[in-house]
Amino acid sequence: MSILPFDLVAVDLDGTLADEHNRCSPADLRAMHAVAKRGGYVVIASGRMHAATERFWHEAGLNAPILSYNGAMIKHPRDGFIWFHLTVPARFADEIVDFCETNGYHLNYYLNDHLYVKQENQWSHLYRQRTGSIIEPVGTLTRFRGQSPTKLILIDTPQTTDKLREMFCERFGERLTIIKSNDEYLEFMHPGANKARTLQRLAYQLGVPRERVLAIGDGNNDIPMLRWAGYAVAMGNAKPAVKELAHWIAPPIEQNGLAVALADIFKLHHEEVFGS
* φ and ψ at residue 10, rounded to 5 degrees: -100, 120
pTM of the model: 0.92
Q: Residue 86 and residue 195: Cα distance in Å, rounded?
A: 12
Ordered by where they begin, the domains of the chain are 8-85+193-274 (3.40.50.1000), 90-189 (3.30.1240.10)
| Among 7, 4, 5, 16, CA closest to 242 | 16
pLDDT for the residue numbered 190:
97
CA angle, corner 238, sides to 134 and 35, nearest 5?
Answer: 75
- Tens-of-pLDDT digits for all 276 residues of the chain? 468 999 999 999 999 999 988 999 999 999 999 999 999 999 999 999 999 999 999 999 999 999 999 999 999 999 999 999 999 999 999 999 999 999 999 999 999 999 999 999 999 999 999 999 999 999 999 999 999 999 999 999 999 999 999 999 999 999 999 999 889 999 999 999 999 999 999 999 999 999 999 999 999 889 999 999 999 999 999 999 999 999 999 999 999 999 999 999 999 999 999 986
pLDDT for the residue numbered 276:
61
| CA dist list (Å): 145 to 87, 94, 136 | 14, 6, 17
What number of other Cβ atoms are within 10 A of residue 192's Cβ?
13
pLDDT for the residue numbered 1:
43
Q: Residue 23 and residue 10: Cα distance in Å, rounded?
A: 19
| Among 178, 147, 144, CA closest to 162 | 178
Q: Residue 209 and residue 199: Cα distance in Å, rounded?
A: 11
